[in-house]
Amino acid sequence: MMSKKEAIAEAKKLQDLEIEHKKMTEEEEYRNAGISKEDAQGRGELDLERQIAELKNRVTQLTGIEKLHKDLNGMLRQENYDLKMKVHGQVKLENQINGQKQIIEELSRDNQRLSAEIDDKVKKLRNSGAI
């Protein structure tokens, strides 16, 4: 059997342990028990509030990605349009060049024909003694 002094000392130790235990935070108690607060409250992976928060987070991420895709798509469409306009301009210039080449060829043939006519006329005039 314990003496009165020993019983008082033991009671004091128990009070100190209870006070020390009360000083522990709620998170520390869960951590010491080896479980999460959500699991202790019956909430786990099937917690609808957590699932909603995660899905809202994902929607926010996807909205950002969608905006980036729209911006990039707009830039690519503009670049595509600009390149089509450059090709159109190049085709137009090539058509002008081909038209001018045809004009140059016609003028060259006319020039040769006129040169041959002048040579013939000069030859006739020389043969007739006018020159």
Could you write out the three-class secondary structure of 90-131?
Answer: HHHHHHHHHHHHHHHHHHHHHHHHHHHHHHHHHHHHHHHCCC
12-56 pLDDT, tens digit each = 766 676 666 555 566 666 666 666 666 656 666 677 888 888 999
- pLDDT range class, residue 62, cuts 50, 70, 90: very high
Q: What global pTM score does this model have?
A: 0.47
Tally of domains in the chain: 1
Average pLDDT, the chain: 83
Averaged pLDDT for residues 72-99: 96
List the domain range (segments joined by +) for residue 37: 1-43
- Is residue 129 a part of any domain in this protein? no
- Is residue 29 a part of any domain in this protein? yes
- Is residue 39 a part of any domain in this protein? yes
